[in-house]
């Protein structure tokens, strides 16, 4: 059992810190203390990954598997959580008095995500997903008093709940036929001959499971909630949602995919291809003339998930993990870092006002002339999202391309190229907006005093770190590549 | 190491130029000129040091060490990607062109009142760095990287310091090049993966990929991937429509770099990659490519004639001129290729100069509309005379480099296809039509009575003089350039010859 | 464990009907309270299916998952009801078709 | 001296470059000295070279440097001197110097004095390179160079858009010919592997036999260049408009030198044309039709310079006729004499225009005989030579041409019988020439004065006029040393009747002109005022409506197409793609209406789609 604890050290640390934080709030509210505790929790958990790495892979109960893969994603999740925590301080300062629960919810949500990436069983999958989700609902609605966050939260809660229900019902159907709930077990059972009438149940179940997962990943046509929730949620939370929630779910999906050997089923692969193509095209088209920055990023995330799905389909073609998993993990890491950077910058821009976020494209008009550094960093983040070289986004795209070509998935690649072509427009539109001379003295300009955006040392550190990571991994990706190449699943 | 330094000097110089903004608004341009000059002298210093015979050594296609210079560093071994730069005669010519025009482009913006001078100059220097990288990169991954990276500062130049229609123009420029770039990326990766499946190792090295066997049907597609990317940049008909907008809206320095240098990367790519990597496919495709070349020559000239915007006219003339390059490359013999290279260099100077003139006109008259010009010779005889020279250069007047280029291209093409040559030769007539109408509309005709404008000043005349001398030198004694390029062509021929029929005088 | 006495398919059909009812509620009801209730129905129908399947396979897993679902549903609803209070407070309505500003 | 021939083109070139660089900051006197002096020096060198050459008699060549070398394509900056070159050099530098001298006074009041001489010197340099070139590429350089200078000088007074249009027309129309010529060069190089004229002709001779297709195509393409530059049908329309330039320019470029470059080219490459007898025949026919067309047109012009321009076209037609019938020397001979008397006429016309406040309409002149005596005499002598009155220079050269035409004995096709017809056509031309040239004399210098001259030509104008008068008179007695250059032609052995007719025809023409325009005793008004007559006059006046024809079939369609496409119609495709994307965006955006119920429903739809997909594929 001792190694069991060691194997789950990081989640345990997070849980313990969450408990401490809860008690601190109960005894005496103090924003800085809570913030410090949140930071400590994340940092300790990251440190805890080291002893975990020594003993992996290690199965802890049939539900959770600590391996290199889950460690890597845990690290990403904790890193995202830490970044969000760091940024939240400035962001929340001007908003309302009681911020303490925010950090608690972040910790819980991250805990859910970590469980999700270790899940090898429907039960742990369900637990992780819901822990992640329920904390997020609260996070979305929590910091502000406006209507938009509330609407976003309730939409997310209900739709996400419905998606969970669909997913569960799907699993229930599969369980009814196969009699097992562990991923590996499902895979093994699926290879046995299945009665004709039960195949319908399997099919229905699979469709429902993928509907649920597709919703959480905002795959077309289950994507509709995404822009509303992204827009309504406070920026740091949006960032967290975009990175941690999406990343963890995809990581879990990948594990399910491999453990249950779903990649063998051509029908499923073909259906996923259709969804991927639809996501790439629809996501990018939806973002095309969008004026709200958060919505743009939401739509772009839909497209990115479409790109990411290419790796799954490649897996199906190649029938072996090698390049596909490497591509998926790299792309996901790249996307997480880049999104974090983008949302961090948006969060900084919105830090100095107390009500809504400055998320309309007109708000950042002329940013280049007032805050060249900030504008340049946002430009780099956007270029990384667009997959322009020297940024990590390009290497990610390079991986997708390579994987796609290895699998000869020409149709998907065509969609990828068309989608990327379209995406250039809306990314550059933001860049162009920042370079425009005269802020049209309307909506945003009034709210945004040219000198109001003051970067605290903390924010500076965070964005510089993220930009550095984006560029470093874009220029010298070899180390990460090697590491990801060695991840076993 | 020298090659790396060439790029690093510009990159770091760009950062310094940006920073120097704090010292005063005139500092960045001084720094920028200084940086490019240092780079140029650095290269010339090397050139002075090598024995002249070395320039005539035919570089082996399989062995970069036989090149003038090579520099290799492991970069991403996971995919066999290395930081591999190498220079042969062709790259040398183009790098020199880049640096000279770099100096000129900075001078051309000397008197423009641009905000954020520092960032402006930084972008110019970074664009130059990217272009030089493109000319030197011998690893296809690295090549693509530079290919894309040079777009970004160029985009910013247009988007930030451009004219009234900059939003549309900069976006169009970026999307065209980026979209076609993705096709090239696809082709590069597919080629590398084919190499991987044939040999078991990943490699993006030009030298390795040259020998990669590609099954014929596949080769056609991959060739197209490269071809489209390069032809968009060239620009070739019908992918040229980004160019008139981008050129017109870019600030003067941007136009100079765009027309003078950036377009050449497309031509360079065609010569260096498209044909040698897929000789058979390229040969099959040659008639279509040449047809596009002819279409570009004629179409560009016809549209240039009808423009009322001075810069647009010059932009369309670029389309026309670069059509000759396309013809030259796909005729694929010594004469035509020499002509194509010569056209790259000569067009670089002549168009850069015309854009500078356009910029000077805009700065003085606050319009580019030729309907509002006329009789400017009276007010600015020096500018008029210079414009006349470059108009004549652009119509292919013998004695300047453009003539040598076009003549060689057509001469080489004639051996391949006389009828196409005849069609392309129509471009000589149409070039006369648009060049002269440009002179007429802007500089001849009735002078405006109350116009007070300054003629070209000392600095501008010096820049012009450099380009005039260069063009006349190329027109009367192009041999040094031809000699530098010939060994490279011989080497490329030997790569291609095993698979395709080479025609003409080699 | 005895397994299931009635045929599994019958239970599944009932669960599916329940599920469909919930889904229909989600699609057609406008009052957020009813929507939350529909959500509960859906979750519980999934739970029912799990229980039945678990019984059919004579395993405890089904029931365990059901317990988890109950917990999850409770958590969801508690957060949900909290939000509903705020909706009433901030939008002055519980009609989700009207408490709506985000779109595009 | 021969090794210094490179100085011949260099001197005017250097002078031109200096004038350009100093941009008019030099004193006028110095500009004049540089401008005229450089050409004069070149003329002296030509004289020395000519004397030396007469002794040597063997062609001399000099390579300055290899221009460009790619494989075996290695044209040099090389000069080739033979008798033909020497003749051309003499004409260019000699007449050129006189015209420059004349210009120093003519252009005295122009503010762009320096620019004028810069262009003129550049022209002379280019023209010299053209005739000295040892290979066709260098020749082409000169060829284009003179075209550019012609463009610059025609449009010299740039402030008037009409001049601009004329200069552009001149350049573009000749460029059409030049392009054909360039294609000829490509063909010759591709087939023969060299562009060096003498080796090329030898190679052509050994490679092909008379009547082969390829030499015919090559000759045809070169002919295209020649008709463009020499303003022959169908590319002659630019020359009358080119009169927009200063008159000395017309004298130098559009009478004496550049327009005869086509003649020189054909003469220079006669070896090739001999291999293509059909093309040679075409040369003769082009010459014949041009000379007739231009003569009729000249008869109806009212602008003194346009009359001379059409007359030039007509006279070059004679030269083409000569070349076409194989009378190479006669063609060159006429080239030389024409240079003398046409330069004289133009300079005379220039003097008239100069002294009459830039009046060019001959019907507003008159009675100038006593007011401008020097000019009158110049004009009279020039016209006599142009009309080929006996013992003037024009008589000898034209007579040779007509006789050669009469005697044409070809071996194939129409050349078997066409000789006398060509002769007859030439005679018609000759009588017309006499009529229009003396029409000019009688109208301008006789009758009552309509405009008073405000000045008299000074010595710098008078001296060249006088010298050219002498040359026009005695030029016919020069013996050109061209025997070694061209294949020998049999001596004329035609009946005295033919000779007599040839001699008397111009005299009849002069008589008619005298009767019609001086005595007004021939009742031609009856015809000219009839509707047919008017129509014909208008038709001829417009130069056989060729301008209108080209305008309709080429210029208008071109500008129309260009203007129609101005807005980049290709963009419509790309804009279509953009619209497609925007439309899709708008459509998709409508699904994001914000209603949660709809979102839930879409999820159900998605589920159904997924089920269908899965069921369908498995």
Phi, psi of D235 (to 5 degrees): -110, 30
A383 close contact with B: CB closer than 8 A? yes
The Cα D248–Cα D96 span in angstroms is 10
Q: Confirm if B188 and B244 have CB atoms less than 8 A apart.
A: no
pLDDT for B346: 92
Q: Confirm if A293 and A428 have CB atoms less than 8 A apart.
A: no
Is the pLDDT assigned to residue A357 strictly greater than 80?
no
pLDDT for B387: 92
The confidence band for D490, taking pLDDT boundaries of 50, 70 and 90, is: low
pLDDT for C1: 45
Which residue matches tokens 């309709």? Answer: D552
Buried b / exposed e across B17-34, counting CB within 10 Å, b at 16+? bbebbeeeeebbbbbbbe
Rounding to the nearest 10 degrees, give the CA dihedral for residues C62, C65, C70, C76: -140
Is the pLDDT assigned to residue A342 strictly greater than 90?
yes
- pLDDT average, residue stretch B176-200: 91
The Cα A446–Cα D582 span in angstroms is 30
Residues of D whose CB is below 8 A from A221? 602-603, 605-606, 609
Residues of B whose CB is below 8 A from D152? 388
Residues of C whose CB is below 8 A from D604? 23, 27
Buried b / exposed e across B117-152, counting CB within 10 Å, b at 16+? bbbbbbbbbbbbbbbbbbbbbbbbbbbbbbbbbbbb
The confidence band for A163, taking pLDDT boundaries of 50, 70 and 90, is: very high
Burial class of residue B501 in the structure, from the number of CB atoms within 10 Å of its CB (0-12 exposed, 13-18 middle, 19+ buried): exposed
User: Nearest Cα to A261, choosing from A167, A171, A184, A181?
Assistant: A184
| Ranges of each domain in chain C | 8-93
The Cα B473–Cα A216 span in angstroms is 67
Structure tokens of D165? 């249009």
Q: CB neighbours (10 Å) of residue A163? A: 24
What's the domain count of chain B? 1
pLDDT for D594: 82
Q: What is the pLDDT of residues D51-97, one digit of tens each?
A: 888 787 788 888 888 888 888 888 888 999 888 888 888 889 988 99
Mean pLDDT of chain B: 88
A179 close contact with D: CB closer than 8 A? no
User: Nearest Cα to A172, choosing from C39, C3, C63, C35?
Assistant: C63
The confidence band for A262, taking pLDDT boundaries of 50, 70 and 90, is: confident
**What 8-state DSSP symbol labels residue B79?**
G
B167 close contact with D: CB closer than 8 A? no
Q: What is the pLDDT of residues C4-13, one digit of tens each?
A: 778 888 888 9
The confidence band for B10, taking pLDDT boundaries of 50, 70 and 90, is: very high
Which residue matches tokens 């060159």? Answer: D332
Of A158, A211, A290, the CB nearest to D607: A211
Is the pLDDT assigned to residue B126 strictly greater than 90?
yes
User: Are A130 and C42 an interchain contact pair (Cβ–Cβ within 8 Å)?
Assistant: no
The pTM assigned to this predicted structure is 0.91
Residue B229 lies in a domain: yes
Which residues, 6 or more positions from A71, have their beta carbon under 8 angstroms from its beta carbon?
A49, A52, A53, A56
pLDDT for A442: 44
User: Are D614 and A162 an interchain contact pair (Cβ–Cβ within 8 Å)?
Assistant: no
Residues of D whose CB is below 8 A from C97? 595, 597
Let me know if chains B and A touch, i.e. at least 3 Cβ pairs under 8 angstroms. Answer: yes
Domain that holds residue B269: 2-499
Query: In this structure, are strands D60-66 and A58-60 parallel, antiparallel, or unpaired?
Result: unpaired
B421 close contact with D: CB closer than 8 A? yes
Structure tokens of D63? 């390579």
Query: In this structure, are strands A64-66 and A58-60 parallel, antiparallel, or unpaired?
Result: antiparallel
Residues of D whose CB is below 8 A from A158? 596, 600
User: Are B174 and A428 an interchain contact pair (Cβ–Cβ within 8 Å)?
Assistant: yes
Ranges of H-type helices in B234-309: 242-249, 252-257, 263-269, 275-277, 279-306
Rounding to the nearest 10 degrees, give the CA dihedral for residues A307, A312, A313, A315: 140
- pLDDT average, residue stretch D329-357: 86
Of D594, D613, D617, the CB nearest to A228: D594
Q: How many residues does chain D have?
A: 618
Q: Confirm if B494 and B61 have CB atoms less than 8 A apart.
A: yes
3-state secondary structure of A190: helix
The confidence band for A104, taking pLDDT boundaries of 50, 70 and 90, is: very high
Residue B506 lies in a domain: no
Of A158, A227, A271, the CB nearest to D617: A271
Is the pLDDT assigned to residue C19 strictly greater than 90?
yes
Q: Which residue did the predictor score with more confidence, D518 or A287?
A: A287
User: Are A266 and D606 an interchain contact pair (Cβ–Cβ within 8 Å)?
Assistant: no
Task: Please report all neighbours of D, defined by 3+ CB atom pairs within 8 A.
Answer: A, B, C
Residues of C whose CB is below 8 A from A168? 43, 46-47, 50, 65, 69
Which residues, 6 or more positions from D245, have their beta carbon under 8 angstroms from its beta carbon?
D153, D154, D155, D156, D157, D163, D166, D167, D253, D254
Query: In this structure, are strands B69-76 and B81-87 parallel, antiparallel, or unpaired?
Result: antiparallel
Helix axes A68-93, A9-27, angle to 10 degrees: 20
The Cα B283–Cα B288 span in angstroms is 10
User: Are B186 and A388 an interchain contact pair (Cβ–Cβ within 8 Å)?
Assistant: no
Question: Which H or E run contains A102?
Answer: helix A100-118
Residues of B whose CB is below 8 A from A428? 155, 159, 170-171, 174-175
Residue B313 lies in a domain: yes
Q: Confirm if A177 and A185 have CB atoms less than 8 A apart.
A: no
β-bridge mates for residue D70, sequence order: D73
Q: What is the pLDDT of residues D379-427, one digit of tens each?
A: 888 888 888 888 888 888 888 888 888 877 767 777 777 777 888 888 8
Q: Confirm if A393 and A383 have CB atoms less than 8 A apart.
A: yes
C10 close contact with D: CB closer than 8 A? no
Query: In this structure, are strands B69-76 and A64-66 parallel, antiparallel, or unpaired?
Result: unpaired
Task: Please report all neighbours of C, defined by 3+ CB atom pairs within 8 A.
Answer: A, D
Residues of A whose CB is below 8 A from C76? 130, 134, 137, 157, 161
Let me know if chains B and C touch, i.e. at least 3 Cβ pairs under 8 angstroms. Answer: no
User: Are B78 and A435 an interchain contact pair (Cβ–Cβ within 8 Å)?
Assistant: no
Q: Confirm if A308 and A332 have CB atoms less than 8 A apart.
A: yes
Q: Confirm if A429 and A361 have CB atoms less than 8 A apart.
A: yes
pLDDT for D483: 73
The confidence band for A297, taking pLDDT boundaries of 50, 70 and 90, is: very high
pLDDT for D306: 87
Ranges of H-type helices in B307-400: 310-331, 334-365, 376-379, 381-394
The Cα D21–Cα D32 span in angstroms is 16
User: Nearest Cα to A326, choosing from A69, A78, A114?
Assistant: A69
Structure tokens of D586? 């708008």
The Cα D353–Cα D24 span in angstroms is 25
Of B303, B404, B476, the CB nearest to D562: B303
Structure tokens of D323? 């070349």
Of A398, A435, A485, the CB nearest to B160: A435
Mean pLDDT of chain A: 88
Of A207, A224, A289, the CB nearest to D614: A207
The Cα B344–Cα D107 span in angstroms is 42
CA A447 to chain centre: 30
- Longest Cα–Cα distance of chain C, Å, equals 54
pLDDT for A453: 60
Structure tokens of A213? 């997962």
Structure tokens of A138? 């609260």
The confidence band for B288, taking pLDDT boundaries of 50, 70 and 90, is: very high
Q: So what's the architecture of C8-93 in CATH?
A: Orthogonal Bundle (1.10)
Is the pLDDT assigned to residue B184 strictly greater than 90?
yes
Q: Confirm if A130 and A109 have CB atoms less than 8 A apart.
A: no
pLDDT for B504: 35
Q: Which of A61, A111, A120, A175 to mutate to test the interface with C (most CBs of C within 10 A)?
A: A175
User: Nearest Cα to A139, choosing from A172, A100, A166?
Assistant: A100
Mean pLDDT of chain D: 86
Residues of chain D by 3-state class (helix, strand, coil), percent to 5: 75, 5, 20
pLDDT for D123: 92
Is the pLDDT assigned to residue A450 strictly greater than 50?
no
Which residue matches tokens 């963009």? Answer: D571
User: Are D600 and C104 an interchain contact pair (Cβ–Cβ within 8 Å)?
Assistant: no
Helix axes A196-217, A147-178, angle to 10 degrees: 160
Buried b / exposed e across D323-333, counting CB within 10 Å, b at 16+? bbbbbbbbbbb
Is the pLDDT assigned to residue B412 strictly greater than 70?
yes
Ranges of H-type helices in C1-104: 8-28, 32-56, 61-91
Which residue matches tokens 């229905």? Answer: A204
The confidence band for A444, taking pLDDT boundaries of 50, 70 and 90, is: very low
The Cα A163–Cα D600 span in angstroms is 9
A22 close contact with D: CB closer than 8 A? no
User: Are C91 and A147 an interchain contact pair (Cβ–Cβ within 8 Å)?
Assistant: yes
Q: What is the pLDDT of residues B247-272, one digit of tens each?
A: 989 998 899 999 889 999 999 999 99
User: Are C30 and D592 an interchain contact pair (Cβ–Cβ within 8 Å)?
Assistant: no
pLDDT for D210: 84
For chain C, the first-to-last Cα distance in angstroms comes to: 54
Phi, psi of D585 (to 5 degrees): -60, -45
Lowest mean pLDDT among A19-28, B61-70, D90-99, D426-435: B61-70
User: Nearest Cα to D228, choosing from D277, D272, D171, D278?
Assistant: D171
User: Are A401 and B185 an interchain contact pair (Cβ–Cβ within 8 Å)?
Assistant: yes
pLDDT for A447: 47
Q: Confirm if A438 and B38 have CB atoms less than 8 A apart.
A: no
The Cα D244–Cα D164 span in angstroms is 9
Residue B299 lies in a domain: yes
User: Are D606 and A214 an interchain contact pair (Cβ–Cβ within 8 Å)?
Assistant: yes
Q: What is the pLDDT of residues A420-443, one digit of tens each?
A: 999 999 999 999 888 887 654 444
Residue B505 lies in a domain: no
Q: CB neighbours (10 Å) of residue D274? A: 19
Q: Confirm if B256 and B295 have CB atoms less than 8 A apart.
A: no
Residues of A whose CB is below 8 A from C50? 168, 171-172, 175
The confidence band for A454, taking pLDDT boundaries of 50, 70 and 90, is: low
Structure tokens of D254? 């559009």
Chain C residue nearest residue A181, CA to CA: C61
Residues of C whose CB is below 8 A from A290? 104
Cα Rg of chain A (Å, integer): 22
Q: Confirm if A44 and A13 have CB atoms less than 8 A apart.
A: yes
Residue C18 Cα, gap to closest chain D Cα (Å): 15
Ranges of H-type helices in D325-414: 328-355, 368-371, 373-386, 393-406
ipTM of model: 0.89
* Percentage above 90 pLDDT, chain A: 53
DSSP string for D545-597 = THHHHHIIIIIHHHHHHHHHHTTTTTHHHHHHHHHHHHHHHHHHHHH----HH
Of D594, D597, D604, the CB nearest to C30: D597
């Amino acid at each position: 059992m001792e190694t069991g604890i060691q194997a789950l050290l990081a989640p345990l640390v997070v849980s313990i810190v969450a408990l401490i934080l809860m008690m601190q709030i109960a005894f005496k509210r103090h924003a800085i203390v809570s913030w410090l505790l949140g930071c400590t929790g994340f940092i300790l958990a990251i440190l805890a990954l080291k002893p975990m790495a020594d003993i992996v892979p290690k199965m802890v109960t049939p539900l959770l598997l600590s391996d290199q893969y889950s460690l890597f994603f845990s690290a990403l999740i904790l890193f995202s959580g830490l970044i969000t925590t760091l940024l939240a301080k400035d962001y929340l300062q001007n908003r309302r008095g009681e911020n303490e629960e925010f950090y608690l919810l972040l910790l819980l949500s991250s805990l859910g995500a970590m469980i999700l990436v270790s899940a090898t069983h429907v039960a742990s999958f369900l637990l992780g997903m819901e822990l992640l989700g329920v904390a997020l609902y609260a996070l979305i609605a929590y910091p502000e008093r406006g209507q938009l966050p509330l609407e976003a939260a309730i939409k997310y809660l209900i739709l996400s709940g419905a998606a969970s229900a669909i997913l569960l019902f799907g699993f229930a159907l599969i369980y009814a036929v196969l009699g097992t709930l562990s991923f590996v077990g499902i895979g093994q059972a699926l290879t046995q001959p299945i009665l004709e009438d039960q195949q319908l149940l399997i099919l229905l179940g699979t469709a429902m499971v993928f509907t649920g997962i597709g919703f959480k990943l905002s795959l077309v046509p289950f994507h509709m909630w995404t822009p509303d929730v992204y827009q309504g949620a406070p920026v740091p939370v949006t960032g967290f949602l975009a990175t941690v929630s999406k990343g963890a779910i995809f990581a879990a999906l990948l594990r399910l995919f491999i453990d249950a050997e779903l990649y063998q089923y051509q029908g499923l692969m073909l259906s996923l291809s259709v969804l991927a193509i639809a996501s790439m095209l629809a996501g990018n088209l939806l973002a095309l003339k969008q004026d709200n920055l958060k919505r743009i990023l939401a739509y772009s995330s839909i497209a990115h998930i479409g790109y990411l799905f290419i790796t799954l389909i490649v897996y199906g073609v190649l029938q072996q993990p090698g390049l596909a998993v490497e591509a998926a993990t790299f792309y996901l890491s790249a996307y997480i870092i880049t999104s974090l950077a983008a949302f961090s910058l948006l969060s900084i821009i919105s830090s100095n006002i107390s009500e809504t976020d400055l998320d309309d494209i007109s708000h950042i008009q002329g940013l280049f002339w007032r805050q060249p550094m900030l504008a340049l960093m946002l430009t780099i983040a956007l270029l990384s999202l667009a997959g322009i070289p020297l940024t990590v986004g390009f290497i990610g795209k390079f991986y997708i391309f390579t994987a796609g070509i290895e699998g000869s998935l020409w149709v998907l690649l065509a969609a990828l190229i068309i989608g990327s072509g379209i995406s250039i427009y809306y990314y550059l539109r933001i860049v162009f907006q920042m370079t425009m001379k005269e802020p049209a003295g309307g909506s945003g300009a009034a709210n945004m005093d040219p000198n109001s955006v003051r970067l605290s040392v903390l924010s500076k550190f965070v964005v510089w770190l993220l930009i550095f990571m984006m560029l470093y991994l874009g220029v010298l990706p070899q180390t990460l590549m090697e590491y990801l190449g060695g991840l076993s699943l | 190491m020298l090659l790396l330094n060439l790029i690093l000097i510009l990159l770091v110089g760009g950062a310094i130029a940006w920073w120097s903004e704090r010292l005063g608004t005139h500092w960045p341009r001084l720094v920028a000129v200084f940086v490019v000059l240092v780079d140029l002298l650095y290269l010339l210093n090397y050139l002075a040091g090598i024995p002249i015979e070395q320039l005539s050594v035919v570089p082996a296609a399989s062995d970069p060490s036989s090149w003038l210079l090579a520099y290799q560093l492991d970069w991403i071994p996971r995919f066999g990607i290395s930081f591999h730069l190498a220079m042969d005669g062709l790259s040398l010519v183009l790098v020199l062109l880049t640096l000279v025009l770099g100096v000129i482009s900075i001078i051309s913006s000397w008197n423009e009142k641009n905000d954020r001078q520092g960032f402006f100059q930084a972008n110019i220097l970074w664009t130059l760095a990217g272009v030089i990288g493109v000319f030197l990169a011998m690893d296809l991954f690295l090549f693509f990287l530079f290919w894309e990276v040079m777009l970004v500062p160029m985009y910013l130049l247009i988007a930030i310091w451009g004219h009234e229609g900059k939003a549309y123009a900069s976006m169009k420029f970026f999307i065209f090049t980026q979209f076609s770039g993705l096709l090239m990326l696809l082709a590069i990766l597919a080629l590398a993966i084919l190499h991987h499946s044939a040999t078991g190792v990943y490699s993006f090295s030009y030298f390795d990929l040259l020998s990669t066997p590609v099954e014929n049907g596949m080769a056609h597609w991959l060739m197209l991937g490269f071809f489209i990317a390069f032809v968009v940049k060239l620009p070739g008909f019908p992918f040229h429509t980004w160019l008139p907008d981008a050129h017109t809206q870019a600030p003067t320095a941007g136009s100079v770099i765009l027309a003078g240098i950036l377009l050449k990367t497309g031509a360079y790519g065609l010569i260096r990659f498209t044909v040698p990597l897929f000789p058979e496919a390229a040969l099959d495709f040659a008639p279509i490519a040449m047809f596009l070349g002819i279409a570009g020559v004629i179409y560009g000239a016809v549209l240039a004639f009808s423009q009322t915007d001075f810069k647009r006219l010059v932009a369309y003339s670029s389309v026309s001129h670069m059509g000759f390059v396309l013809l030259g490359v796909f005729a694929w013999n010594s004469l035509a290729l020499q002509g194509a290279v010569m056209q790259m260099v000569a067009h670089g100077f002549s168009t850069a100069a015309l854009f500078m003139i356009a910029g000077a006109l805009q700065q003085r008259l606050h319009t580019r509309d030729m309907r509002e010009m006329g009789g400017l010779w009276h007010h600015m005889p020096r500018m008029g005379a210079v414009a006349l020279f470059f108009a004549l250069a652009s119509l292919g007047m013998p004695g300047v480099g453009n003539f040598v280029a076009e003549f060689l291209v057509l001469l080489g093409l004639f051996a391949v296809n006389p009828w196409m040559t005849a069609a392309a030769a129509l471009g000589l007539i149409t070039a006369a039509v648009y060049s002269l109408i440009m002179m007429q509309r802007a500089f001849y005709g009735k002078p405006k009575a109350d116009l007070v404008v300054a003629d070209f000043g000392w600095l501008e005349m010096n820049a012009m003089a450099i380009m005039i001398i260069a063009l006349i030198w190329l027109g009367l004694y192009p041999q040094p350039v031809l000699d530098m390029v010939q060994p490279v062509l011989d080497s490329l021929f030997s790569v291609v010859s095993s698979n395709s029929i080479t025609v003409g005088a080699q | 464990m005895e397994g299931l006495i009635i045929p599994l398919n019958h239970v599944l059909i009932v669960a599916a009907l329940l599920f469909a009812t919930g889904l229909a509620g989600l699609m057609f009801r406008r009052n957020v309270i009813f929507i939350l209730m529909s959500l509960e129905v859906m979750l519980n129908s999934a739970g029912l299916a799990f229980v039945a399947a678990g019984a059919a396979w004579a395993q405890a897993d089904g029931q365990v998952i059901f317990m988890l679902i109950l917990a999850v549903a409770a958590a969801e609803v508690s957060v949900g009801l909290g939000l509903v209070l705020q909706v009433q407070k901030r939008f002055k309505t519980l009609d989700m078709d009207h408490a709506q500003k985000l779109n595009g | 001296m021969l090794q210094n021939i490179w100085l011949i083109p260099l001197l005017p070139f250097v002078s031109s470059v200096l004038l350009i660089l100093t941009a008019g900051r030099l004193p006028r006197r110095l500009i004049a000295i540089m401008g005229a002096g450089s050409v004069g020096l070149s003329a002296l060198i030509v004289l020395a070279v000519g004397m030396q050459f007469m002794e040597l008699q063997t062609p001399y060549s000099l390579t300055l440097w290899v221009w460009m070398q790619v494989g075996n394509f290695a044209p040099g900056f090389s000069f080739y001197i033979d008798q033909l070159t020497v003749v051309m050099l003499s004409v260019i530098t000699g007449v050129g110097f006189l015209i420059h001298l004349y210009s120093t006074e003519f252009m005295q009041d122009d503010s762009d004095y320096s620019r004028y001489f810069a262009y003129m010197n550049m022209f002379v340099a280019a023209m010299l390179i053209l005739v000295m070139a040892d290979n066709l590429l260098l020749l082409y350089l000169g060829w284009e160079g003179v075209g550019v200078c012609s463009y610059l000088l025609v449009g010299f007074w740039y402030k008037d858009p009409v001049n601009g249009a004329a200069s552009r027309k001149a350049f573009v129309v000749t460029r059409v010919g030049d392009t054909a010529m360039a294609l000829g060069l490509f063909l010759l190089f591709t087939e023969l592997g060299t562009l060096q004229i003498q080796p090329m002709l030898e190679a052509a001779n050994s490679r092909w036999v008379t009547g082969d297709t390829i030499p015919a195509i090559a000759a045809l393409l070169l002919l295209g260049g020649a008709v463009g530059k020499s303003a022959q049908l169908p590319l002659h329309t630019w020359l009358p408009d080119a009169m927009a330039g200063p008159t000395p320019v017309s004298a130098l470029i559009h009478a004496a030198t550049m327009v005869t470059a086509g003649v020189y080219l054909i003469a220079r490459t006669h070896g090739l044309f001999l291999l293509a007898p059909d093309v040679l025949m075409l040369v003769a026919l082009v010459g014949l039709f041009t000379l007739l067309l231009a003569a009729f047109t000249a008869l109806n012009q009212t602008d003194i310079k346009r009359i001379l321009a059409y007359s030039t076209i007509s006279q070059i037609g004679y030269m083409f006729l000569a070349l076409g019938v194989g009378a190479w020397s006669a063609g060159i001979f006429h080239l030389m004499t024409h240079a003398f008397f046409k330069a004289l006429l133009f300079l005379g016309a220039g003097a008239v225009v100069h002294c009459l406040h830039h009046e060019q309409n001959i019907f507003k002149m008159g009675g100038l005989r006593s007011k401008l005596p020097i000019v009158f005499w110049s004009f009279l002598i020039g016209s006599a030579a142009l009309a080929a009155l006996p013992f003037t220079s024009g008589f000898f050269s034209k007579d040779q041409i007509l006789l050669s035409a009469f005697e044409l004995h070809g071996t194939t096709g129409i050349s078997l019988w066409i000789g006398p017809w060509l002769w007859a056509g030439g005679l018609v031309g000759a009588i017309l020439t006499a009529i229009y040239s003396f029409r000019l004399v009688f109208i301008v210098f006789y009758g009552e004065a309509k405009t008073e001259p405000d000045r008299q030509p000074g010595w710098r104008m008078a001296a060249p006029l006088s010298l050219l008068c002498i040359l026009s008179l005695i030029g016919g007695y020069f013996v050109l040393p061209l025997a070694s250059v061209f294949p020998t032609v049999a001596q004329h052995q035609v009946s005295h009747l033919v000779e007599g007719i040839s001699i008397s025809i111009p005299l009849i023409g002069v008589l008619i002109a005298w009767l019609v325009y001086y005595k007004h005793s021939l009742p031609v008004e009856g015809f000219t005022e009839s509707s047919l007559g008017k129509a014909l006059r208008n038709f001829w006046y417009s130069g056989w409506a060729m301008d209108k024809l080209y305008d309709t079939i080429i210029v208008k369609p071109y500008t129309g197409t260009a203007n129609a496409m101005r807005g980049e119609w290709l963009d419509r495709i790309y804009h279509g793609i953009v619209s497609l994307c925007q439309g899709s965006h708008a459509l998709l955006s409508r699904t994001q209406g914000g209603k949660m119920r709809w979102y839930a429903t879409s999820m159900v739809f998605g589920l159904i789609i997924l089920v269908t997909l899965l069921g369908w594929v498995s």
